[in-house]
Structure 1
Amino acid sequence: MIPRPAFLNELRRRFTFQKRPATLSLVLVILVWYGIEIGTLYLGWTVAEWQWMFTTESFPVLSPGLVFAIISHDPGNATHILANVAFLWLFAGESEQHMSSLEVVGFFVATALASVTVSSAVTGDSTLGASGGALAFVGFYGAHLFLTHREVLELETSGYGPVQYEALRAYWQGALLLFPLGFGIYLLGQSVGLFPAGNAAVIGHIVGLLLGMGYAVGREWIK
Structure 2
Amino acid sequence: MGFNHPHCEQVAEAIQSRLFFQNRLGTGFLTTVIMLWYLFQIGVVFLGWDKELIQWMFTTESFPALSPGLFFAIVSHAFPPRITHLFGNVAFLWLFAGESEQHMRQAEVIAFFVITAQVAVLIGTAVSGESTLGASGGVLAFIGFYSVHMFLEHRDEFEFGALTSGSPITTPVRTYWGIVLVLTPIVLIPYMLGQLAGLLPVGRADIVGHLVGFLFGIGYAAARSRIR
1:29 lines up with 2:36 in the alignment: no
Does the 8 Å CA contact 2:158/2:174 hold for their aligned counterparts?
no
1:157 lines up with 2:199 in the alignment: no
Q: Distance in 2 between matches of 1:141 and 1:113?
A: 19
Q: Secondary structure at the match of 1:5?
A: helix
Residue of 123, 126, 135 corresponding to 1:130: 135
Residue of 38, 62, 65 corresponding to 1:61: 65
The corresponding residue for 2:217 is 212
Unaligned residue ranges in structure 2 (runs of 5+): none
The range that moved more, 150-159 or 5-14, is 150-159
Q: Deviations over 1:120-170 (max 9, x none)?
A: 0010110000100011000000000001112222223242235x561x322
Does the 8 Å CA contact 2:60/2:133 hold for their aligned counterparts?
yes
Structure 1 residue 196 displacement after superposition: 3.0
1:83 lines up with 2:85 in the alignment: no
Q: Secondary structure at the match of 1:201?
A: helix
Q: Distance in 2 between matches of 1:212 and 1:72?
A: 21
Unaligned residue ranges in structure 1 (runs of 5+): none
The range that moved more, 40-49 or 150-159, is 150-159
Q: Deviations over 1:58-82 (max 9, x none)?
A: 0000000000000001122210110
Structure 1 residue 198 displacement after superposition: 5.8
1:20 lines up with 2:27 in the alignment: no
Does the 8 Å CA contact 1:136/1:208 hold for their aligned counterparts?
yes
Q: Deviations over 1:92-139 (max 9, x none)?
A: 000000000000000000000000000000101100001000110000
Q: Secondary structure at the match of 1:70?
A: coil
Residue of 74, 78, 94 corresponding to 2:78: 74
Q: Deviations over 1:146-199 (max 9, x none)?
A: 01112222223242235x561x32222211121123212210121012333368
Kindly provide the amino acid, as one letter, of the partner of residue 163 in structure 2. T
Q: Distance in 2 between matches of 1:78 and 1:108?
A: 21
For these two proteins, the number of residue pairs brought into alignment is 221
Q: Distance in 1 between matches of 2:197 and 2:203?
A: 13
Q: Secondary structure at the match of 1:73?
A: coil
Q: Distance in 1 between matches of 2:70 and 2:151?
A: 34
Residue of 33, 39, 45 corresponding to 1:41: 45
Q: Distance in 2 between matches of 1:7 and 1:111?
A: 31
Q: Distance in 2 between matches of 1:204 and 1:10?
A: 32
Kindly provide the amino acid, as one letter, of the partner of residue 86 in structure 1. A
RMSD across aligned positions (CA) = 1.8
